[in-house]
Structure 1
Amino acid sequence: MATILLVEDDEMNRDMLRRRLVKHDFSVITAEDGVKAIAAAQAQAPDLILLDMSLPLKDGWQTAGELKADAQTAAIPIIALTAHAMDGDRQRALAAGCDDYDTKPVDFKRLLVKIQAHLDAGA
């Protein structure tokens, strides 16, 4: 069973995504800000991180950069989840350290395909 760290500050979005991921046999750890996300990633070494880019305390852009700069967490794939869907946002997320990018509202089937692709690549 793969473990996913879901980083989302909106409680309703976090709960909905967590429940849907659990239904698909993932173990899910949650964090509501970038500071807690980094601590959770270091402590629990998830297989993949779903990272909202608009977070309190430390935004997703900074969080992704710090996770990729840390040898302990650098290999964990990060999928950016963001309502930022303007030209250049995908490139900005990838430049920040994310391995993939998906927009909100979340298309869960599309997201599952991306999650599985990254988990398979790391297997």
Structure 2
Amino acid sequence: MKNILVVESHQKFCYLLSQFLRNNNFHVIEARNFFIGSYLAKEQYPDLIICSLEIVEEIGYQTLQKIQDSSITTKVPLILLTNKPDVSSSLNQIHQLGADILLKKTVGFSRLLEVIKLQLNKDEGFYF
């Protein structure tokens, strides 16, 4: 069973996403803020991290970069979710952070599941 760390401050969305992932046979680790999330990332060794872009912007891109550079989390795929209508101004910074995917929160959970599976299978050499 793969471990997914969900870092999301919006309680209802976090609950819905976490339940969906559990229903699809993932072990979910939840964090309501980035600092708890970074601690859990180092303690729980997630296979993938899903994080709200708004949380990243609150703490600053440099803080995320420091955590991404950690030897423990540097190879962990990162999916950022946002509810912003326009993210073009953030794309350069997001790319520099090594984020693998940026999706709008309005993307369906079934599409998100496809992206998660693709990211998890990337290191194993399986693509679908």
TM-score between both structures, scaled by the size of structure 1 = 0.88
Counterparts of 1:107 and 1:60, CA distance in 2: 27
With over 3 angstroms needed to count, the CA separation of the structure-2 counterparts of 1:76 and 1:15, relative to structure 1, is: same
Conservation of the 8 A alpha-carbon contact between 1:31 and 1:37: yes
Counterparts of 2:84 and 2:65, CA distance in 1: 18
Question: 2:100 matched to which residue of 1?
Answer: 99
Deviation at 1:37, TM superposition (A): 0.9
Question: 2:47 matched to which residue of 1?
Answer: 47
Answer with 60-69 or 99-108: which moved more. 60-69
SS of structure 1 residue aligned to 2:80 = strand
Q: Which has the larger radius of gyration?
A: 2
Which blocks of at least 5 consecutive residues in structure 1 are unaligned?
A: none
Corresponding pairs, count: 123
With over 3 angstroms needed to count, the CA separation of the structure-2 counterparts of 1:88 and 1:58, relative to structure 1, is: closer
Question: 1:80 matched to which residue of 2?
Answer: 80
Answer with 78-87 or 7-16: which moved more. 78-87
Question: 1:69 matched to which residue of 2?
Answer: 69
Deviation at 1:48, TM superposition (A): 0.1
Conservation of the 8 A alpha-carbon contact between 1:7 and 1:37: yes
Question: 2:37 matched to which residue of 1?
Answer: 37
Provide the identity percentage.
Answer: 28
SS of structure 1 residue aligned to 2:35 = helix
Which blocks of at least 5 consecutive residues in structure 2 are unaligned?
A: none
Q: What's the CA shift string for 1:40-96, capped at 9, x where partnerless? A: 000000000001111289537345312321111101000001113422434432222
With over 3 angstroms needed to count, the CA separation of the structure-2 counterparts of 1:94 and 1:17, relative to structure 1, is: same
TM-score between both structures, scaled by the size of structure 2 = 0.85
Answer with 81-90 or 28-37: which moved more. 81-90
What is the root-mean-square deviation in Å for CA atoms of aligned residues? 2.1
Question: 1:2 matched to which residue of 2?
Answer: 2
Answer with 43-52 or 82-91: which moved more. 82-91
Deviation at 1:27, TM superposition (A): 0.5
